């Protein structure tokens, strides 16, 4: 990931050089492209990220769905599990954003502890906004917090590609991909300026 960010940084400087664009103009392009992409993404997430869509998409991917009935937390509306082989997804619909953020922060601390304790194993951790993914050995975990939804995933690495496809279909987007999409819009504007 560091190599990708370095590549984008170098490409940005090259584009600035070609266009002769000021830093202010560059910031204006970046801010506008990011804002447009986030607005479109948030609208799409509102449409896709629902309990019904989570159940429907998970079933299409071959997951068994289970609604958890016995839980004593008034701040949570529903808990739904999607299970398949070595993979389990927990989908929480909470009363409000604050509850979902608190759930995210609790598991974030646990992820950080697991990452620090796994000294001898191969490991990686990616954190962007309300999304953290953690790989330790063959184990793969992710947590998402979007609005009043919180999602906790446990799997082995062999299911990683399928999980990313499933998550995209339910409105959970990789923040780095969003950044790349926004960045490509900015570069497009640079080249339009260049060939005016």
* Residue 130 banded pLDDT, cuts 50, 70, 90: confident
Query: Of 126, 193, 180, nearest to 11 (Cα)?
Result: 180
* Residue 106 banded pLDDT, cuts 50, 70, 90: very high
* Residue 188 banded pLDDT, cuts 50, 70, 90: low
In sign, the C-alpha dihedral spanning 144, 149, 150, 155 is negative
The model's pLDDT over 41-60, given as tens digits with 9 standing for 90+, comes to: 666 666 678 899 999 999 99
- pTM reported for the whole predicted model: 0.71
Which residues, 6+ apart, have CB-to-CB distance to 108 below 8 Å?
Answer: 127, 132, 143
Contact 88, 133 (CB under 8 A): no
- Identify the pLDDT of residue 75: 92
């Amino acid at each position: 990931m560091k190599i990708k960010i370095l590549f984008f940084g170098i490409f940005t400087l090259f584009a600035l050089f070609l266009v002769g664009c000021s830093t202010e103009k560059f910031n204006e392009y970046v801010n506008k492209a990011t804002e447009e992409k986030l607005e479109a993404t948030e609208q799409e997430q509102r449409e896709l990220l629902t309990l019904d869509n989570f159940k429907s998409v998970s079933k299409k991917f071959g997951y068994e769905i289970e609604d958890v009935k016995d839980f004593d937390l008034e701040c949570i509306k529903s808990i739904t599990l999607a299970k398949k082989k070595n993979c389990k997804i927990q989908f929480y619909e909470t009363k409000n954003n604050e509850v979902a953020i608190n759930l995210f922060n609790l598991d974030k601390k646990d992820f950080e502890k697991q990452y620090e304790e796994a000294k001898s194993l191969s490991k990686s951790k990616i954190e962007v906004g309300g999304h953290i993914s953690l790989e330790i050995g063959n184990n793969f975990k992710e947590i998402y917090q979007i609005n009043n939804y919180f999602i906790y995933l446990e799997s082995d690495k062999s299911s990683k590609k399928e999980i990313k496809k499933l998550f995209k279909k339910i409105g959970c987007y990789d923040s780095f991909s969003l950044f790349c999409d926004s960045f490509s819009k900015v570069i497009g504007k640079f080249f339009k300026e260049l060939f005016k």
